[in-house]
A and B are shown apart, each in its own frame.
Chain A
Amino acid sequence: MTLYNLTIHEAADLLHKKEIRPKELAQSVFQRIRSLDEQIGAYITVTEEAAMIQADQAEQAILNGTASPLAGIPISIKDLICTEGVKTTCASKILENFVPTYDATVIEKLKSQDAVFTGKVNMDEFAMGSTTENSALRPTVNPWKPNHSPGGSSGGSAASVAASMCLGSLGSDTGGSIRQPASHCGIVGVKPTYGRVSRYGLVAFASSLDQIGPLTKDVTDAALLLNAISGYDIKDSTSAPENVPDFTRNLKDGVKGLKIGLPKEYFNTDGIEEDVRSATEKAIEILKSQGAEFVDISLPHTAYAVASYYVIAPSEASSNLARYDGVKYGIRDMDQSELLSMYKETRSKGFGLEVKRRIIIGTYALSSGYYDAYYKKASQVRTLIINDFKKAFETCDLLLSPVSPSPAGIIGEHSDDPLKLYLSDIFTISANLAGLPAMSVPCGFTKHELPVGLHLMGRHFDEATLLKTAYSFEQATEFHKKRPQI
């Protein structure tokens, strides 16, 4: 048995039965990282030494009989979630030396449950991108096909899980950044309802859209990680005071009687690649055979979602990224003797091209004379998009589509055409605009053996329905058991 290949729930079983020890499991994972990561490029920082101490603590908790399901489980963390004493770079030059003095709430929660942290993983700089090529360090490659991108922005998270260089990972999702890389790497990814998981300690990209969530090898693991990180937090003023159910409890309830909506605007486009379409259609057949009922619904403002998003997200980003000024943290251009030139040179040297592009778009959209035409207009269209979903959820329990119109792309493919990349976010972006929970679950492979993911969107705070649907589907398929041959 190779321990690094285990899922979280398989490993937890063995750990709690004392058939394996947390240290053995951690050592197996770190050995895997040492032998593979030069090729994959998932990790920015590996924290083996601290992990061994955490493994000892987990063992103590297991021996004391006080262990949580995550005790001793090796988890990687996207490098924009603050970790006390461990570098948090956002894959940006401007934060290359930033060491937080506090833990994000999700990290505090995982620590209190004796999880073991493998390290910090790669991403598009400040989570801006969908290929992980915008990392200031290096691109991460797709474990299924190394000349392909793993997707992004949580590409390091997805690749580290798919290549078994951790058992689960935390990523963040502003427009699809958990679900799309999960789909491209053949794993499960969940973007929880906005407000479900505390954003305290998550470096902000677009504050009204950002949400932290799990990337895992299967649905049960996603439910376990979501259990561990959810809940109201006084430190995040947008955190929701909602009860958190045990997300593993209803996994086996089945889909009988569930009404699943198929948004006609999503399927009536010729942009969906044939293999993706056929994998999605097969998934629909499987869920039908399990007792789900499918209804055609309409989300009339779908055509405007990407445009609305690419005003709102850069606008919020331009404001959030104003804090990088060479004064409080990060790098500073020490050659400048005037404040203004110090700001400008520090920021110009510290930010990469995509980040600059979005800051400029956002600053433009918020600038005097353009605010009404862009930001206000986009925020009004956002209201209409939310209303579309309200109406859809009057007749169905969840919505289904592909995660992405195409599988993972070849690295470098779209580097000069940002708009084309933005347009591929069409199925994932609306969940962020509307604050809905959504997830990706593996549903097949293309003829080139690239993974395809199925996208499920649910009502606010109804992650449980998504998870039980994904679980039911997963039981009828073997896609989640396939591992890349590397």
Chain B
Amino acid sequence: MKISGEDVTKVADLARLTIDNELRDKLSAQIGNILSYVDTLEKVDTRDVVPTTHALSLFNAFREDEVKPRQGSGTDQALANAPMKEDGCFVVPKIIG
């Protein structure tokens, strides 16, 4: 399967990545190669085969919904690495014009 430069740009955009023309062309060729290889999967008969999402049968991990005490301030910890913060909140560029 080939992937056009236009498609690469579109998918990059969906993934919130900007790519210049040079990279677009390079990725279009490389990803095209990889997808052509992946297309060998078409040869496998998978009728009625249940897809695997986890290799081992796992059970959902339930617990009581209760507040547990934690050390220190949760907010401070959550914000510790934020590039911008103010009054216990993350700061982002203006969203509403």
Contact = CB atoms under 8 A, between A and B. Distances in A.
A379 B52 contact: yes
A419 B34 contact: yes
Contacts of A326: 83
A387 to B, nearest CB: 9
Interface in B80-97: 80-84, 90, 92-95
Given A234-B63, A308-B41, A377 B34 contact: no
A433 B50 CA distance: 15
A445 interface: no
Describe A's contact surface by its main secondary structure. helix
Interface in B4-59: 7-8, 11-12, 14-19, 23, 27, 30-31, 33-35, 37-38, 40-44, 46, 49-56, 58
A18 interface: no
A171 to B, nearest CB: 20
A17 interface: no
A424 to B, nearest CB: 13
A422 B44 CA distance: 20
A193 B54 CA distance: 12
A312 to B, nearest CB: 9
Choose among B50, B54, B90 the residue with the greatest number of A CB atoms under 10 Å from its CB. B54
Contact of B49 (A193, A195, A351, A380): A380
Interface in A355-407: 356-357, 359-361, 363-364, 367, 374, 376-384, 386
A446 to B, nearest CB: 28
B82 to A, nearest CB: 6
Contact of A383 (B33, B40, B50): B50
Contacts of A331: 83
Contacts of B27: 356-357, 360
Contact of B53 (A208, A307, A337): A208
A237 B60 contact: yes
A111 interface: no
B36 to A, nearest CB: 9
A306 to B, nearest CB: 8
Nearest to B38: A307
A360 B8 contact: yes
A187 B41 CA distance: 35
A378 B41 CA distance: 7
A338 B93 contact: yes
B3 A364 contact: yes
A330 B81 contact: yes
A436 B55 CA distance: 8
Chain A interface size, under 10 / 10 to 19 / 20 to 34 / 35 or more: 35 or more
Contacts, number: 167
Contacts of B23: 353, 356
A326 B93 CA distance: 11
Nearest to B90: A327
A4 interface: no
Contacts of B34: 310, 361, 418-419, 422
Choose among A343, A360, A367 the residue with the greatest number of B CB atoms under 10 Å from its CB. A360
A426 B58 CA distance: 26
A293 to B, nearest CB: 27
A477 to B, nearest CB: 32
Contacts of A269: none
A422 B82 CA distance: 35
A51 interface: no
Contacts of B94: 337-339
B67 interface: no
Contacts of B44: 301, 304, 377, 380-381, 384
A214 B59 CA distance: 27
A107 to B, nearest CB: 16
Interface in B57-88: 58, 60-61, 63, 77-78, 80-84
Nearest to B14: A363
B90 A360 contact: no
Contacts of B95: 339
A357 B30 contact: yes
Nearest to A321: B15
Interface stretch (A96-104, A121-129, A148-156, A176-184): A96-104
A390 B97 CA distance: 58
A1 interface: no
Nearest to B40: A307
Nearest to B97: A338
24 contacts: A194-B54, A304-B40, A310-B37, A311-B38, A327-B90, A338-B94, A339-B95, A340-B16, A348-B18, A353-B23, A356-B17, A357-B30, A360-B11, A360-B17, A364-B7, A364-B35, A367-B14, A378-B38, A378-B41, A380-B50, A381-B41, A386-B55, A435-B54, A435-B56
